[in-house]
Structure 1
Amino acid sequence: MPAGISQTIDNVVEVLNRKGAGDVLLLCEHASSHIPQQYKDLGLRDEDRLSHAVWDPGARAVSLLLSKALDAPMVASRVSRLVYDCNRPPESPSAMPEKSERIEVPGNRGLSPEERKNRADAIYFPFCTAVTEVIEERNKAGLKTILVTMHSFSPVFHGQHRAVEIGILHDDDSDLADAMLAHTSTLSHRRIERNEPYGPDDGVTHSLKLHGVSRRLPNVMLEIRNDLLKTAADEEAMAEEMLTLLRPALATLELKGGGDA
């Protein structure tokens, strides 16, 4: 879209179970494959239109199940991460990538500073504002907040198979991740790793730092390999596995006095 044309987009973020009184606040930055009409599918090839580059398959479904189980509010983007990746700051090239792995994104080539700003204003800042509002509402209600961001990842990256099935990611604050990793023996059939298949050096902990670490909120990023999320039954099973790790970890934090509002 040429610079100067309005990029106002309706309903770019959804907040579900806003009044949830559980300790957890869920974020799902890559929940949607929706590309607003004005972006003309970003010029993507038909075979790439619903690829992992466009969104995180299964992440929203698992987040919804966790929201119900934990009585947790959930904030999710309703726009494809190729239009704007809400887990990246505006100055990052990967916020609006020209290429994602091997997938070319013609609609992101040569964006002007004004076009990049318009997208950030339309998508990123409303998402961040929604997160801030929910946290502030919880603070006023005397509720503690523990930040959990939910993602999925592709089983093959640049032609290489990824053996890891579940990634537990963190930045400087590893308390919640440590507590979850301490219980991985309860899922002995899964390959679970710390800061895999991505880590802080890959820029994936932006939301954790911005919304969690900066506020001294316990936080963790969960990654599930998306071939384990092909059906609704898969999503339900993986949500239960996440709860198997999360619930005792949350109890550990409670005993340590973590997550105070």
Structure 2
Amino acid sequence: MTGLLTEADGSPVAVDNAEASGPVLLVCEHASRRLPENMGSLGLSAAALESHIAWDPGALAVSQLLVQSLDAALIYQRFSRLVYDCNRPPEAEAAMPPVSEVFEIPGNAAISATERQARTEALYVPFRDGISDFITSRKADGRSPVLVTMHTFTPVYHGKQRDVEIGILHDDDHRLANAMLAAAEKSTRYVVRRNEPYGPADGVTHTLIEHGLKNGLLNVMIEIRNDLVRDEIGQKVMADYLTGVLGESLIALSQ
């Protein structure tokens, strides 16, 4: 363990179904609201640490259902994005945000360069390397994975209601996003839109760029409004829907 993490904390990276036979590699950067033992509460209340600023509620649960339905592999971060947001590069302020929406984060105020480096080495580097190593191993076997990052977003942000229910996000490579949007048009179950409620200009495509674009992989980021996946029923319905959309899209792209 590094100086930031204790033996009790364990590894920052978790992998489910590493030997998956399906092509999809799911990545969930904001899977957990857990804080390392040495970080305390970052000066936040219990309510704040349970809210969307600390993690993406429902994202891991839906991802784990997709592992089963797609025989996909899943790599996820075991600690809160408030300590280090693994969908941001180390030089980005948002990697260790001093403010998230309306919440000030005392434990992230005036972080020293030494502490930023410690957090980067403890959380970001192992996570980045875990994804990179998985992709390298698959490509060595002649199986280029399809990168799908899984996120959820809050229905109300800065007091404004969001009507989009599923966002299909992409950076410069929009092949998989285009196919998914075309598949989604065949159903009226959800309001599905391109690059909403975030897009590349918001700095949210770091993982897609670092591991998808740089490796020439099909890639997409899925954002789900979290009120739709608050319970097991909603999570199962969403996973079934995404299984169909992803499956249809990959077939279309293979033809």
How far residue 139 of structure 1 moved from its aligned partner, in angstroms, is: 1.5
Structure 1 partner of 2:36: 36
Structure 1 partner of 2:186: 186
**Equivalent-residue separation in structure 2 for 1:65 and 1:160 (angstroms):** 30
How far residue 104 of structure 1 moved from its aligned partner, in angstroms, is: 1.4
Q: Is 1:242 paired with 2:242?
A: yes
CA contact (8 A) 1:187 1:241 kept: no
How far residue 46 of structure 1 moved from its aligned partner, in angstroms, is: 2.3
Structure 2 partner of 1:141: 141
Deviates more, 1:6-15 or 1:171-180: 6-15
How far residue 69 of structure 1 moved from its aligned partner, in angstroms, is: 1.1
Residue 187 of structure 1 aligns to a residue whose secondary structure is coil
Structure 2 partner of 1:6: 3
For structure 1, the 5+ residue unaligned runs are 256-261
| Equivalence map 1:113-124=2 (5 Å) | 113-124=113-124
Q: Is 1:112 paired with 2:109?
A: no
- Two-structure CA RMSD over aligned residues (Å): 1.1
How far residue 6 of structure 1 moved from its aligned partner, in angstroms, is: 2.2
Q: Aligned letter for 1:244?
A: G
Which TM-score applies when normalising by structure 1? 0.94
**Equivalent-residue separation in structure 2 for 1:242 and 1:73 (angstroms):** 15
Structure 1 partner of 2:252: 252
How far residue 250 of structure 1 moved from its aligned partner, in angstroms, is: 0.6
- Which 4+ residue blocks in structure 1 deviate beyond 6 angstroms? none
**Equivalent-residue separation in structure 2 for 1:230 and 1:133 (angstroms):** 32
**Equivalent-residue separation in structure 2 for 1:47 and 1:183 (angstroms):** 38
Q: Is 1:151 paired with 2:151?
A: yes
How far residue 21 of structure 1 moved from its aligned partner, in angstroms, is: 1.5
**Equivalent-residue separation in structure 2 for 1:100 and 1:185 (angstroms):** 33
Structure 2 partner of 1:229: 229
How far residue 167 of structure 1 moved from its aligned partner, in angstroms, is: 0.2
Residue 30 of structure 2 aligns to a residue whose secondary structure is coil
Q: Percent identity?
A: 48
Q: Aligned letter for 1:57?
A: P
CA contact (8 A) 1:21 1:143 kept: no
Structure 1 partner of 2:127: 127
CA contact (8 A) 2:166 2:222 kept: yes
Structure 2 partner of 1:94: 94
CA contact (8 A) 1:43 1:107 kept: yes
CA contact (8 A) 2:5 2:36 kept: no
Which TM-score applies when normalising by structure 2? 0.96
CA contact (8 A) 1:83 1:96 kept: yes
Structure 2 partner of 1:20: 20
Residue 42 of structure 1 aligns to a residue whose secondary structure is coil
CA contact (8 A) 1:169 1:195 kept: yes
Residue 168 of structure 1 aligns to a residue whose secondary structure is strand
Deviates more, 1:37-46 or 1:147-156: 37-46
**Equivalent-residue separation in structure 2 for 1:160 and 1:90 (angstroms):** 30
How far residue 185 of structure 1 moved from its aligned partner, in angstroms, is: 2.5
Structure 1 partner of 2:206: 206
Q: Aligned letter for 1:33?
A: R
**Equivalent-residue separation in structure 2 for 1:191 and 1:72 (angstroms):** 25
CA contact (8 A) 1:186 1:244 kept: no
